[in-house]
Amino acid sequence: MKLAIHFGAGNIGRGFIAPILQENNYEVVFVDVNKELIEQINLFQGYKVSSISLNSSSDIFVKNISGLILDDKELVYEKLAQADLITTSVGPRFVKDIFNLISRTKTEKTQAFIAFENMYRASSTNSIDSSLSKLILIDAVVDKIIPPQNKTSLDVIVEEYGSIILDKNIEIKPLNESKIVSYRDYEHEFYKKLWLLNGLHLKLAYFGLSRNFKYIHEILNNQEGIEFAEKALDSLSKAYNLFSKSTEDLKDFKQTILTRFSLPEIQDEVIRIARNPEIKFSKDERFERPLRLLISVNEGVETFKEIIDIIFENEFEQVDGFRDFKNSQLSYDKNYFYNEFWNVDNYSEKYIQALGN
């Protein structure tokens, strides 16, 4: 059996990545900083993953797993040297720490590395040592919603939908293609998810805040909310087709997103999704870049304008980071926002016409 070392024994690691690794005939060894969590994994050597959808639920059991505490460096190095595949779900800012460990590991094996992180090319851009010639870096777009969990148990509840898209421009395929795993154009798939899924998520969060909704699914159970969501997805889809220079039919993809967001059990709080607005509304991110593409070709941006109006007209003190965002970027007029925050030059008049000033 092949060996996979997975850094991060949290909900994504246990609930999504480990089952996929086992389906691909890997022995799974978790590495984590949480000593208590690793002790639980070694004690029970398994747990239940419950998948939920609007109409059904199902359980699978992940068995024969083990774990290492990150501080036990000698054991970690020993296992890393034996690994066929090294994966992570630790958060983007910690991936370089994993590379530090890998760079100190002595092995003659050719190994694959996949960072399952919500970050652009998290596998290849976080590499710190080009001399690791036997380490094949594979960028991934990973998509799975994990609802709030019972932290006293190893068991995990996840949404039924899941997707792992791996960069097709690689030498090997460490995971078999399946209903969940595929090999495609990374650039296209990353921005498709960032704009249509994360971009819609952000728009719905601020739409919901302005109307005192607590959860995303409540917005989609409301007629005004579902109409806004559909219009937002249509414009984001136009932006994606402009970017990808394709006529890809996104009808099923859009419906899947709406179905996923409609699931009450996800308990997707708008206040959580709206946090860190200065990052999410920044230049080249999930809101600004598709908007820029649409404005450049004079396409309609009605739902973008509605969100711009919402963030300028409200305080949202309850949202983490919003006060600072308001003070630094939203305390002047919209024209200042376009030119100073987004560095809009050539199209400033178009922005004023489309979004107001």
pLDDT tens per residue across span 278-327: 999 999 999 999 999 999 999 999 999 999 999 999 999 999 999 999 99
Residue 222, class by beta-carbon neighbours within 10 Å (0-12 exposed, 13-18 middle, 19+ buried)? middle
Q: How many CB atoms lie within 10 A of CB 179?
A: 7
Indicate whether 264 and 160 sit together in one domain. no
Question: What was the pLDDT predicted at 150?
Answer: 78
CA dihedral for 67, 72, 78, 80, sign (positive or negative): positive
What CA–CA distance (Å, rounded) separates 354 from 326? 21
Residue 307, class by beta-carbon neighbours within 10 Å (0-12 exposed, 13-18 middle, 19+ buried)? buried
CB of 164 within 8 A of CB of 263? no
Mean pLDDT for the stretch of residues 52-62: 92
pLDDT tens per residue across span 200-209: 999 999 999 9
Domain containing 13: what range? 2-184
Indicate whether 244 and 337 sit together in one domain. yes
**pLDDT beyond 60 at 350:** yes
The residues with which 46 forms a beta bridge, in sequence order, are 63
Mean pLDDT for the stretch of residues 172-193: 98
What CA–CA distance (Å, rounded) separates 137 from 121? 10
Final residue belonging to a domain, choices 153, 184, 215? 184
Question: What was the pLDDT predicted at 130?
Answer: 53
Q: Phi and psi dihedrals of 69, rounded to 5?
A: -80, 135
Indicate whether 70 and 152 sit together in one domain. yes
Question: What was the pLDDT predicted at 133?
Answer: 65
Mean pLDDT for the stretch of residues 58-76: 97
Residue 251, class by beta-carbon neighbours within 10 Å (0-12 exposed, 13-18 middle, 19+ buried)? exposed
Mean pLDDT for the stretch of residues 28-43: 98
What CA–CA distance (Å, rounded) separates 300 from 285? 19
Question: Hunting for tokens 């699931």 — which residue is that?
Answer: 263
CATH number for 24: 3.40.50.720
Name the percent of the chain lying above pLDDT 70.
Answer: 97
Mean pLDDT for the stretch of residues 14-40: 98
Give the torsion through C-alpha atoms of 91, 97, 103, 108, to 10 deg: -40
Question: What was the pLDDT predicted at 126?
Answer: 72
Indicate whether 129 and 217 sit together in one domain. no
Q: Which amino acid belongs to residue 206? A: Y
Final residue belonging to a domain, choices 184, 206, 237? 184
What CA–CA distance (Å, rounded) separates 346 from 231? 27
Mean pLDDT for the stretch of residues 107-124: 95
Question: What was the pLDDT predicted at 13?
Answer: 98
What CA–CA distance (Å, rounded) separates 312 from 332? 9
Indicate whether 180 and 192 sit together in one domain. no
Indicate whether 41 and 167 sit together in one domain. yes
Indicate whether 348 and 263 sit together in one domain. yes
**pLDDT beyond 90 at 129:** no
CB of 339 within 8 A of CB of 357? no
How is residue 182 written in tokens?
């595929």
CA-based end-to-end distance of the chain = 62
Q: How many CB atoms lie within 10 A of CB 182?
A: 15
List, in order, residues 6 or more apart from 48 with CB less than 8 Å away: 59, 60, 61, 62, 155, 156
What CA–CA distance (Å, rounded) separates 121 from 66? 28
Question: What was the pLDDT predicted at 210?
Answer: 98
Average pLDDT of the chain is 95
How is residue 340 written in tokens?
């100073």
User: Which of the four pLDDT bands, split at 50, 70 and 90, describes residue 37?
Assistant: very high
**pLDDT beyond 70 at 161:** yes
What CA–CA distance (Å, rounded) separates 74 from 81? 11
What CA–CA distance (Å, rounded) separates 75 from 72? 6
Give the torsion through C-alpha atoms of 227, 265, 189, 355, to 10 deg: 30
Indicate whether 180 and 211 sit together in one domain. no
What CA–CA distance (Å, rounded) separates 280 from 16? 25
Grouping H, G, I as helix, E, B as strand and the rest as coil, residue 303 is helix
**pLDDT beyond 60 at 180:** yes
CB of 235 within 8 A of CB of 303? yes
Indicate whether 111 and 225 sit together in one domain. no
Mean pLDDT for the stretch of residues 52-76: 95
Final residue belonging to a domain, choices 150, 184, 218? 184
Indicate whether 170 and 26 sit together in one domain. yes
- How many structural domains comprise the chain? 2
Name the percent of the chain lying above pLDDT 90.
Answer: 91
Indicate whether 159 and 12 sit together in one domain. yes
Indicate whether 224 and 175 sit together in one domain. no
Q: Say which DSSP state 266 is in.
A: G
CATH number for 320: 1.10.1040.10
